Amino acid sequence: MSTIKINRALRLSVVGRFPGSASAMLDRIPTPVIQALTSPRLAQMLDAMWDACQEAKGIAAHEACASGVVWDARRRTLREIAA
């Protein structure tokens, strides 16, 4: 796989500013797909995945609050919202 292509895509993408997230997303894209894409197209794909993840996190938070609980990331547990 081309390191140059990946590095360029990371520079072109928004998610490239977050190395852990970018790496996690790249790990989930099959190698043949990465090979078939240009750097700008790969950057677009990574940013689309990033946007989808951000939206999904927002939906999950909204659904958790609507059900009366919130996620305590530090303790890694759900906590009930006291009324």
Cα–Cα dist 72/79, whole Å = 7
pLDDT for 63 equals: 72
Residue showing tokens 């609507």: 66
Q: Summarize pLDDT for 25-66 with one digit per residue, the tens.
A: 999 999 999 999 999 999 999 999 999 988 887 777 767 667
Task: Confirm whether pTM is higher than 0.75.
Answer: no
pLDDT for 75 equals: 86
Cα–Cα dist 42/13, whole Å = 9
- Within 13-83, residue ranges assigned H as helices are 19-28, 31-36, 39-66
Domain boundaries, the chain: 3-80
pLDDT for 29 equals: 95
